[in-house]
Amino acid sequence: MLLWTGLGNPEPGMARQRHNIGFMAIDAIAKRHGFSPWRRRFKGEVAEGQIAGRKILALKPLTYMNASGESVQAAAGFFKIPPAAITAFHDELDLDPARVRVKKGGGAAGHNGLRSMDRMLGTPDYWRVRLGIGHPGAKERVTGHVLGDFAKIDLAWLEPLLDAVADAAPLLADAQPEQFMTRIALLVGDKH
């Protein structure tokens, strides 16, 4: 079983924030691939499904970003899922909008959701799907940018990106991160 977690904040008023792109991605995947309805479990919401013949538990922690690891660790512990079978979908300031990078391990780079996962799992050795939201240009504007809602103009790249992530998900499930990134790049193109 694979554990795919989208990182975000649970308040309805936060649903369209850039920081919640991880929730948006996991929702798009679950919808596209006919996962079970979401239900509350492990301090979060879970849905189950299959992609490319792999059983996947989708998780949206309801602990707020800074404590995401509590929910991820609870689900991983219950199902005995090792860190190498966990993938976190999260916002990434250091990537241009609509760009996606997949990597295993690494630092938290100031991302509190990843920092919480590292602490609770005892290792940074899980997969990350870094979803580019762009940088506002100045350090003092980062918090407002991350916690700000996507603008109407962003929908021109955001919706195609989420569709592409859902479309390419079988490649990720099949442990082909390079092909996953390539497929997304081809689907999204240079529309932004």
- How far apart (Å, rounded) are the C-alpha atoms in residues 119 and 104? 16
Catalytic annotation, pick one of 19, 33, 90, 111: 19
Q: Identify whether 90 is a catalytic site residue.
A: no
Classified as helix, coil or strand, 126 is coil
- How far apart (Å, rounded) are the C-alpha atoms in residues 18 and 90? 10
Q: Strands 86-92 and 127-132: what pairing?
A: parallel
Strand ranges inside the chain, DSSP E: 2-6, 39-41, 44-51, 54-61, 86-92, 100-104, 127-132
Catalytic residues: 19
